A = this chain, B = another copy of it.
Amino acid sequence: MTETMLERRARLMGPNVPTFYRTPVHIVKGQGVWLWDTSGKRYLDCYNNVPHVGHCHPRVVQAIAAQAAELNTHTRYLHDLVLDYIERLTGKLGHGLSQAIMVCTGSEANDIALRMAQAVTGNTGIIATDNTYHGNTSAVSQLSSRRPPIGGRAPNVRLVPAPDNLRPVGGSLAGQAQAFADNVARAIVELEAAGFGFSGMMLCPAFANEGLPSVPKGFLDPTVQVVRAAGGVMIADEVQPGFGRMGSDFWGHEALGFAPDIVTVGKPMANGHPVAAVLARPDVMAAFRNAFGYFNTFGGNPVSAAACLEVLQVIEDEGLQHNAAVVSAHVMARMQALRHPLLADVRGNGMFFGAEFVLDDAMTPATDFVADLVEALVTRGFILNRIGRAQNTLKIRPPLPFSIENADSLMDAIEAVLAEAPVPA
């Protein structure tokens, strides 16, 4: 049956359509941190950040259903909900980021952010890390090192080496922050020499796709100084870290301790309803809005706004940011107690964890080994995946209601699978 479905996908979607796992799961139901497949098998969801407050949260479902029955139209007519939401969301941000454009996907948000940086500075040179993903539009895919854009990398884009716990930029962990900033400074010089000028730097404050390196608070200080001195803007892509996942803070940039000029948000903000946004200071927003008459048909419609408002309220009412902090500490304690000859590093940032496996002292990635671990865990009913440059880091990023009990059952399973895993010769 599964094979037939894969053939049907290939027939209707074409080749090279991503699936997870060697035998992709066929999920039909979700509730809270749980998923069920067609056979009735239950999985603990240790991976999905889109169902941020839990799969099919009844309050979010109800908000969507009620507003969809009342009105769903575009923002060229006036409506309260989109304004109520922007007011509440910007209320969660400092640094004068008081305005928003509502869109439908993180890709659309980052596509706008790039043009905001261009509108503010008059330049097109842009910098990102060399192991990241910021979306899939023509423009944003230029910054996504893991999926090279069609037609090749544009000359106004520079990718600098991403921070790394085991292979630090510049060769030492102590010097990594400065080495990272030095590379940014070099890239700026190159962009200016090539005639593009410098518009800014876009990064995920949790370096999530980079492999979730555990960089210290203040890590970006030298980089921000370099970017500002060159007249560029800092764009924080909060699609993964935002909305309380960090536990300690509501935003990744707060946890890292820097002030972005532009923040983009997406995946978790409406628990799966297609919504995203760009948040900016009024001066940055005005530069973009006055240079381009932006309008998004679905962006900020009443149903999206209702879903977004309910997600914010549920995060507060259910104390999910606090839960992320508490469960994070518990998972980290158990991760640090893991023992395996190939386990090189465990790290976590709120409700987001990585366990990196290498084959030898040269830090050769144990990519196949981790792929096998993931398959073994899925078979046991745990949905998770891999991350990092060589996909040799176990990636754990559950919905925020993930409990201590859920964490213990996951960690028990990881211990059991590691105990059984054959160590490569």
Give A residues with C-beta under 8 Å from B.
2, 5-6, 8-9, 11-20, 24-30, 35, 48, 50-51, 55-56, 58, 60-61, 64-65, 68-80, 83, 86-87, 90, 98-101, 103-108, 111, 114-115, 118-119, 124, 136-139, 141, 147-151, 266-267, 271-275, 280, 282, 285-286, 288-298, 301, 303-304
Contact = CB atoms under 8 A, between A and B. Distances in A.
Nearest to A307: B68
Contacts of A108: 104-105, 107-108, 136-137
Contacts of A280: 14
B147 A293 contact: yes
A60 to B, nearest CB: 8
Given A12-B100, A61-B68, A24 B77 contact: yes
Contact of A274 (B35, B271, B298): B298
Given A108-B105, A297-B267, A16 B290 contact: yes
B64 A285 contact: no
Given A26-B78, A272-B301, A12 B90 contact: yes
Given A24-B78, A99-B13, A72 B30 contact: yes
Contacts of A290: 15-16
Contacts of A64: 64-65, 68
A20 to B, nearest CB: 5
Nearest to A74: B50
B12 A83 contact: yes
A35 B242 CA distance: 36
Interface of A, secondary structure class, is mixed
B69 A150 contact: no
Across chains A and B, which 5 residue pairs bring their CB atoms closest together, nearest first? A65-B65, A138-B139, A14-B285, A274-B298, A72-B272
Contacts of A11: 98-99
B136 A137 contact: no
Taking the full assembly, how many copies of this chain does it contain? 2
A13 B72 contact: no
A24 B76 contact: yes
A351 B140 CA distance: 37
A2 B28 CA distance: 45
Contact of A79 (B28, B86, B103, B304): B28
Contact of A296 (B58, B136, B296, B298): B136
Given A115-B150, A274-B274, A29 B71 contact: yes
A72 to B, nearest CB: 4
A65 B106 CA distance: 24
A103 B286 CA distance: 29
A273 to B, nearest CB: 8
A58 B69 CA distance: 7
B105 A297 contact: yes
Contacts of A274: 104, 273-275, 298, 301, 304
A416 B68 CA distance: 35
Nearest to A301: B272
A264 to B, nearest CB: 14
A123 to B, nearest CB: 10
A350 B317 CA distance: 50
Contacts of A137: 108, 111, 137-139
15 contacts: A2-B78, A5-B83, A9-B83, A12-B87, A15-B286, A29-B70, A50-B298, A56-B68, A56-B70, A68-B273, A136-B295, A150-B292, A266-B297, A267-B297, A274-B301
